[in-house]
Structure 1
């Protein structure tokens, strides 16, 4: 579920990137593109992890990237960089942050209880 959700989110962000680039907001576009697409890439890598520790490490990176993405979206919104309503993006990234946080915490707990 998180793999597909992060993929769909990245597709939506690509639409916003096009708007940012049209406004010549290249720094915001590049930073947002990197962090938003990194979420799904790390989630995808995690599912092929070689160990539980590897899985947790990749999911933790995805979690950090989701927080960075939230930061860039907030800057773009509160800095009035584009006229588009970013509430949908912010709502979705908040849900992704929560999901990834829960996955990481639960996985870490499971590893501790197995040892």
Structure 2
């Protein structure tokens, strides 16, 4: 990956298109779970989402292997896809982008208030 690809994000676009092509080859119930996985993982992404590509790749590989082995989706993910994704992204209590933005906003407000008060 060169600098230009990193700045424009074209490498990420290429990776996600490859993920979607792989997911399209899965059975319908696996594709539904893939959509849920993406929805549950995105809040754990950083600004660019680069930190999610290895996690999404691993989740998709798990779906592909389970499908090839003839396992049901429930056997692999259970009935809590969100909990599974939270565990993949860093465990219970993992910080989301909302948490990071909230902390940054609170720090900025506290700093401005301390300037006004002092």
Q: Same fold (TM over 0.5)?
A: no
Structure that is richer in helix per residue:
1
The structure that has the greater radius of gyration is: 2
**TM-score category by the smaller chain?**
0.3 to 0.5
TM-score scaled to structure 1, two decimals? 0.36
TM-score scaled to structure 2, two decimals? 0.36
